[in-house]
Amino acid sequence: MQTLHIEPLIIKDVSQVAVIHWRELQGFLPSLGKQFLSHFYRKSMGLSGMFTFVAKEEEGVVGFVTSVESPKGLYGRILSIDPFGFLLLVVKHLIFYPLSIVKMIKILSYPGFSHDEPELLTIAVDSRYQGKGIGRKLFAQVVKEFKNRKINKFKISVYDKLAANGFYYKIGCRLDSSFEFLGETMNYYEYVIPNEVRNLSRM
């Protein structure tokens, strides 16, 4: 039986994280391609208050989770680290998909970018390894990290149509609100970290 390790993201794992994000998740960022995602995660490693953990087995990364202490102005902060590099990737994308400029503009209206509350941004597990409790272990790592940073609750947003809503309900998240974004309904969940953190990975 292989041993699963949860570790902070390092440079050599970025490309695998980008592939999992591109392949397993819906939304705007995956539509920009694996090269953009690789650049995004590589540059995000230098951003204070943002952290990514990976789940690894012998063959490599099988899942990851990204969270941030404050999502306010997040994209702007990441893009400012390497504006020229991101610009080149965006221009390259627009050459092939010019109509996506509309989505790029609208993405800036995402409600999460206007508040200061901690948020779990992204969690994904390679489809070949789903159903093994890896998502719970990644979620538990986020809880532990936020608690170490003296943060006692955080938000999660997820498209209403996704099965992930059931995952968040089962793990103890509370539905806080719903909103429309890019023509689809999204749900905002809140997780309050208890004083004595449960072993979420074994629930």
Domain at 5-151: CATH code: 3.40.630.30
pLDDT at 57: 93
pLDDT at 66: 97
Q: What's the rounded Cα separation, in Å, for the pair 140 and 55? A: 12
Q: Where are the domains of the chain?
A: 5-151
pLDDT at 92: 79
Residues in the chain, pLDDT under 70: 1-2, 97, 99-114, 196-203
pTM score, whole prediction: 0.86
